[in-house]
Chain A
Amino acid sequence: MSLLTFLNSQVFATEVVYNFVIVAICLYISIKAHSLYELSSHKGIKYFRNAFVFFAFGFILRFVLNWLGGSYGIEFPWIMTAIEALFHYTMSMSGFYLVLSLIWKRLTGVVEKEYTLHFLGVAIAILNFIGSTDNFMFFTMLGILAYAIIISYGNYVEDAGRHYFLRLYYIVMVLAFVGWGANFLAQFVIPFYPPFKWYVYLITWTVFGSFFYGVAKIR
């Protein structure tokens, strides 16, 4: 497929809008969290910010992958492989940081070594590369989100409804879990039922939109 055809296609336009909205939300959250971190040096805010910085990079890489895959994938397979590995690394890191933002206080006495997370992220990217698969990233994300559901539900119960977003947080985590599960299933379902992709996109938008709502409401 030529670049022009690809650019003109509706699929490309949808991909641009889909990724742009998510990247914009992630950058908004990252910038707001960063400004608060600069004042407070609060570790939880730092990890939360990092999670959304990695999400932003992840979705930029995802878009580049789709774009290059549709245009130059065959000519430069090594570039595709490198970007894909980077994508797996950034997405895994975003999940790790999101969970770390929820549990860092419980790690009392444990020295939080962030480089171990990076090491894990790289390991996942390498395993995916060796296995020529996305599965290690998908299963890692599903595991992380399952854990995040438990933690966020605990936070919600403990909070007894005092804070508006904690009520929503665990529902968003459940939705994110469903979204990633659907993302994983998409590779099997889409060949038979193409509209399935839009359901996955809708779930992902809802998840990031909810975070945007939660952050934007705080003034």
Chain B
Amino acid sequence: MSKKRERLEVICDMLKSVESQKEIGPTRLLYSSNLSPQMFRDYKEEMLEKGFLEEKDTGKGKVVFILMVKGCSFLEKYKVILEFVENFGL
């Protein structure tokens, strides 16, 4: 049985999905995140609130997510954060 993903790992996976697609719709991001809809909503809200992602209206009544500078910083620093957490038993 695979280990439950940690919060930081989920955020990293979601941001990577957005990064690889440049822009991604909510449904595709939900599928790629492998989360329940409720959990996806919570994570999405958190990432929008923190400025990792931004919602962009495509003009056709559709919304897509794009990666922001802060989201890129998170991805760049992810390994450092993880190392910090693991080395100090946090």
Q: Are A214 and B89 in contact (CB under 8 A)?
A: no
Contact of A101 among B7, B81, B86, B88 (CB under 8 A): B88
- From B73, B74, B80, B88, name the one whose CB has the most chain A CB atoms within 10 angstroms: B88
Q: Are A218 and B80 in contact (CB under 8 A)?
A: yes
Tell me the dominant secondary structure on chain B's binding face: helix
CB-CB nearest in chain B for A40: B81
Q: How many residues of A contact B (CB 8 A)?
A: 27
A interface, CB within 8 angstroms of B: 33, 36, 39-42, 44-45, 47-48, 101-102, 104, 151-152, 155, 159, 162-166, 169, 214-215, 218-219
B interface, CB within 8 angstroms of A: 7-8, 46, 50, 70, 73-74, 77, 80-81, 83-90
Q: List 24 A-B contacts (CB under 8 A).
A: A36-B80, A36-B81, A40-B74, A40-B81, A41-B46, A41-B50, A42-B81, A42-B85, A42-B90, A44-B85, A44-B90, A45-B85, A45-B90, A101-B88, A102-B90, A151-B89, A155-B89, A159-B86, A159-B89, A163-B86, A165-B88, A166-B89, A215-B84, A219-B80
Q: Which 9 A-B pairs have the closest CB atoms?
A: A44-B90, A165-B87, A155-B89, A163-B87, A40-B81, A218-B83, A39-B74, A163-B86, A36-B81
